[in-house]
Structure 1
Amino acid sequence: MMTMPTISNQNGAFPLLRKTELRRLLTEKQLQQLEQFCRASSKRAGSTLFRQGDPADTFHLLADGMVELRARPPGRRVYRTVELIGPSCTFGDEALFGETTYLTSSRVLETARVLALTRPAFDRLAANHPDIALGVLRCAGNCLIKTIRRSAILTQAPADVGLRMLLEELAGGNGNGAPIPVRITHAQLAGVLHVSRETVSRMLGQLASEGTVEVGRGIIRISSH
């Protein structure tokens, strides 16, 4: 498995665990116990955490940043974006649910702080702290439900409505009057929305003419108004 260099590994897992959805599922004491089984790291944009087909040996929880999940459909050579992972969501869930290999590749889009829990570590956690292990599984399940719900909405809504919703979600609702930059390409948006890149480019052009977005190379600035 190829991994890009880590920026640092000095931050403990506990402060990051408190930033995730696990804080709603576990007590402070349980989070401190979980810290003993996790490792925390920061990854640069462009880092690959795992590739499609690699052994599914580690579960990940994103504290900050953004991660792209990509997959290569059978019979094709080109990878396609299938999901965008934001803060507090999980990925690499295959490691907890019995899959032997990862179904997608993961690549960091924005500098990310990530918590990792290996399969052996989770097995030890389940044996010694089953209540905490259940909390981790519930967190993963909540993220999967969120992904399924969003996918259903985005694929059934008109493409322009879906794009607006996705951009609002990526912006995170953090508005202080200034445009919010999101590092993402037209092709990545097209993959999540299940439309062509040309369709995304046309719709972004319309949004730009309305003043809703500013489109740059590999980055979209979204109006916070």
Structure 2
Amino acid sequence: MALVYSCCFWFSLRLGGIIIALYSIIQAFIVLTISCFGYSNPKNVEEKITILVNDLNLIFTKEFVNNLRSDPTKTLGFVIVLTCIYIIICMLYVYGAYKCNNILMMPYIVVELVRLIALTVLIITLLLTLKKNTMDIGLLIGASVLGGFILLGMFYLWVCAANLPIVINEKEHDEYVATITKLEELLQEKKPRTLIGFDYVPWSNYNEAIYNQNIHRFK
């Protein structure tokens, strides 16, 4: 059973799913642009990371940031490859939603869930880093609320995208049941019928036996 049957209480899940996938493609192109810029300017990336390491207490992310600083082209190249694959998966979802093909939509649903989990971990890590580097309670509360609303909205969009295949399956099942019911009604209408007493019943071997036993009453 689907959890939602419309997207944002306005669009159908099919149109909403296409819009969500296009929105994901836009996000991916932003990440791809930044990564390509960093890949082409590794020295600039190293300088920015060095300033970041010297000015902030990075706690959990210090090892990752140091690895990025030591070889930014390797990490950014990996990000570029993953982003290109993600864009292709988003395009498959758009085509699958347009054609109502559940198989083409499944990779996006799985990959997007993994991305959202990783994004959740990233936001929590950033909030903990912010807590270690500032005494401004208002800033920390505002950042926490903003991050929470962003994650809530993105998970809602994922639920809408993930429920489209379920709605398609339910629709196909309902159409199948309706077709079978209609065929049964047509077959029932086309069966030969015989008069026994005052009732009309479908013709069968059992009815034929009853007819032969009671035919003398009508002679």
TM-score (norm 2): 0.27
Q: Which has the higher helix share?
A: 2
TM-score (norm 1): 0.26
Q: Which has the higher strand share?
A: 1
Larger radius of gyration: 2
Relative contact order, higher structure (CA 8 A, sep 6+): 2
